[in-house]
Structure 1
Amino acid sequence: MRRQQMVPVALLVAAVGLLGLGVVGPPTADGGIRITPGLPILLVAAGVSWWWRGSAGAVLGVVAVAVVTVASIGAGLGSDLVGDRGLPVAVARWVQVVGLAAATYALVRRLVAGRSPVGTAGERPRRDRSKVLQVTGLLVLCGIGAELLAAYGDSTGDPGGIAFALVFFGALYGAPALLARDLVRRLGWGWPSLLLIFAALGTAQAGLIDQSLFSVDYGGYEGWEENREPTLIPAVGLSGYNAYSFIVGHVIFSFAAPVALAEAWVPARARKPWLGPVGITFAAIAYAVAAVLIVTDPESRSGSKAQLLAMAGLVGALVILAVIVGRRHQEDHAGPGKPGVSIWLVLGVAFVLALIPDLMPATWLGVIGAATATATVGVLLLLAAQTRAWTIRHTAAVGAAFLLERGLLAFTYFPLIGDVAVGPKYAHNVSMLLVVALAGWLALRGRTAMAPPAERTALPAG
């Protein structure tokens, strides 16, 4: 194995050891898995060391290893290695130590070499870092759109909690969004199939992973029962209002809107896959780890076997439908060409339609009104996408409108759990909204600053 491959693999091995400690070690007060701070540190370090292969990347990797090592010594590393807490803990600790040792060896060799480990003879083309930035931006935007933008949790305004959430929710939402997008683009399918796969992912998240669809009082959030009871269907044990809010919310805010913006950052790559074998592997592992952590949380065990089987069947049906639609309707007409409809008109209309569901009450009439507004957006998009006047920037404008609406609405309420002070709460709102505004500006502007020079010159005027 080459040194540039050895570093991230070794860091991932160490992360697996820390994850194992959370599984077999002492649980949290509520019986869940204890996540050590070293886990996100090693996952980020693995990604950085894989992308930034020079000396600077090696230094950052060494710093990450040093921090985790010092923290582990303080957490009883020696006693765990000799089996004082049992064989499973000892195995997890040894996996961690082996990973850290291998990463240190490879990082030191990289530092001693003083240059990128890829040789000059027969060297592969220099990696396009703008693509890495595009992928990273999508991961961050998915985490923000799914959770942080709404600012309803007790991590609102907490820099440490936000940093962890960006990594964790990037894995939980951004990784599957990347995988679904790459699959659809490789097969030459369009947005209808992609949205159906996103619907499958959203259904899996709310019905199989966190099982919030079936929870009577998930996480102790304020107003949960008031929103659930008016549209509760006792025979199936779920609320119509929650089903719409959670599944459609995931489709739009966790997946579709971030992908629409990220593709518009570099229109020349909008219909191309972004991930290679390594990227696909990283994304799949990240999603699996994040999903397992949620599933094993006692708070996420509210669904019965019949309910879980029904959700699994619905997920499968949505995937099959995506395949059928994809085979019948190939790639979208929308491209980076000159727009025939005002981008700002699309943004304004989409913003109004995005606002309607949030103004609806938690009743069946409200569900019908919200679903009608969302369906209107879907129909208009389907019709517009069949014309040459519709471009990638128009699709991005719709995504930006939904994200901006959610960010602005977050100013009107306080977190639904925890006690957050006024200052940190509004600082959080402003920060998240600025990130979304920047992402929207990069997508809607006429130029593509993130693209390499060769791709910029190749783009049409739009």
Structure 2
Amino acid sequence: MAVLSAVSAELLSAYADSTGRVGPILFEVVFFAALYGAPALLAREAVRRAGWGWDSLLMIMLALAIAQACLIDQSLFSENYHGYDGWAVTYQATLIPVFGISASSAYNFILGHVIFSFGAPVALAEAWQPERAREGWLGRTGLIIATAAYVGAAMMIMSDPESRNASAHQLFASGALVIVCLVLTYLLGRRYRRKAKREVAESDPAPVVGAVFAVMLTLACLRNFAGENWSGFLLGVGVTVGAGALILIGARRPGWGIRCISAVALAFLISRGVFAFTYDPLIGTVAPIPKYVHNVIMLVIVLVAGWFALKRSKSVPPSGLTG
């Protein structure tokens, strides 16, 4: 799962000059597995051991996303992070001066981390082991290794001068938001456990997994084409709210379970992988053949992971609100 986080969060989008280069890619797999995969595992471990559901899991992932973009790499507060093409233009196009952030960047970075760095890999990994989807996976050694990997990778990022863009007020506000998300994680968890005790099995027809996948893929693709301006920001937010509302409606149906959750995850990952074919890396120069070979390999990894998730979870009965 940690490797899938690295692929999903960074390599699938093929935006860096490491695209198509075997050595740097292997390093990035290890590094981003530590930076994203390790905290995703730890978040999942905390939520599943507490007996909470996906609402709590997404909220703790939101806390991790804010921490990553605002406290660790502080990219959300940078006017021109690492010289990526188009960064400064995007920053200025939707700048909110009072906060010193770009609305478009905040939407893309934070939501991107929630979906691609943490949420989608966990959803597929749980579907690989559906019989253990609500159990903890890590022992004491695993918890120590995951924690050390995350702290080590985060410290490497924070030591980079490019990751020192936030003011004291921005750091304080970001830290406060992380704490609020963690408190909400706990409150949602308590609510989930109370509701789970009252759940009664019903016989309504299950949602069609194929339909869930098709609708989410359409919305994910539409989100990809939102521009880096205020109209694009509003379109992206609208699509995201719509997708979230549909997921909540589906989750209230008795048939909603691990297969539907993995179908949502796979739809967003495929959309990201396909969209990566339409642009060149945002920094450096990469020849066409290595670039497209990279795109194909990363997309195949996602397709195989998704196929295995849907196949393994096919015989598992529906499981409550959002699992």
**Unpaired runs of at least 5, structure 2:** none
- Counterpart for residue 63 of structure 1: none
CA displacement at 1:383 relative to structure 2: 2.4
Query: Contact 2:15–2:283 at 8 Å: present in 1 too?
Result: yes
Task: Give 1:261-280 correspondences, 5 Å limit.
Answer: 261-280=124-143
CA displacement at 1:461 relative to structure 2: 10
Larger radius of gyration: 1
Q: Which amino acid aligns with 1:410?
A: A
CA displacement at 1:460 relative to structure 2: 5.4
CA displacement at 1:357 relative to structure 2: 1.9
Q: Which amino acid aligns with 1:391?
A: G
Residues in 1 aligned to 2:294 and 2:123: alpha-carbon distance in whole angstroms: 24
- Counterpart for residue 255 of structure 2: 389
Aligned match for 2:224, one of 352, 358, 366: 358
- Poorly superposed stretches of 4+, deviation over 4 Å: 459-462
Between 1 and 2, higher relative CO (CA 8 Å, sep ≥ 6) is seen in 2
For the pair 1:284 / 2:150, whether they are aligned, the reply is no
- Counterpart for residue 314 of structure 1: 177
Query: Contact 1:339–1:391 at 8 Å: present in 2 too?
Result: no
Aligned match for 1:327, one of 180, 190, 199: 190
CA displacement at 1:372 relative to structure 2: 1.5
CA displacement at 1:446 relative to structure 2: 5.4
Residue 461 to residue 175, structure 1, CA distance change in 2 (3 Å): closer
SS at match of 2:243: helix
- Counterpart for residue 224 of structure 1: 87
Query: Contact 1:210–1:295 at 8 Å: present in 2 too?
Result: yes
Q: Which amino acid aligns with 2:262?
A: A
Which sits farther off after the overlay, 170-179 or 231-240?
A: 231-240
SS at match of 1:445: helix
For the pair 1:439 / 2:305, whether they are aligned, the reply is yes
Aligned match for 1:377, one of 243, 251, 265: 243
Name the count of aligned residue pairs. Answer: 314
Aligned match for 1:202, one of 65, 90, 107: 65
Query: Contact 1:198–1:256 at 8 Å: present in 2 too?
Result: yes
Residues in 1 aligned to 2:204 and 2:310: alpha-carbon distance in whole angstroms: 13
Residues in 1 aligned to 2:63 and 2:317: alpha-carbon distance in whole angstroms: 35
CA displacement at 1:236 relative to structure 2: 1.3
Identity %, equivalent residues: 51
SS at match of 1:390: coil
Residues in 1 aligned to 2:246 and 2:213: alpha-carbon distance in whole angstroms: 13
CA displacement at 1:338 relative to structure 2: 11
Deviations 1:65-118 (A, max 9, x none): xxxxxxxxxxxxxxxxxxxxxxxxxxxxxxxxxxxxxxxxxxxxxxxxxxxxxx
Q: Which amino acid aligns with 1:235?
A: V
CA displacement at 1:386 relative to structure 2: 2.4
- Counterpart for residue 284 of structure 2: 418
- Counterpart for residue 235 of structure 1: 98
Query: Contact 1:338–1:461 at 8 Å: present in 2 too?
Result: no
Deviations 1:122-141 (A, max 9, x none): xxxxxxxxxxxxxxxx1011
Residues in 2 aligned to 1:280 and 1:434: alpha-carbon distance in whole angstroms: 30
For the pair 1:427 / 2:293, whether they are aligned, the reply is yes
Residues in 2 aligned to 1:338 and 1:438: alpha-carbon distance in whole angstroms: 31
TM-score (ref. length: structure 2): 0.93
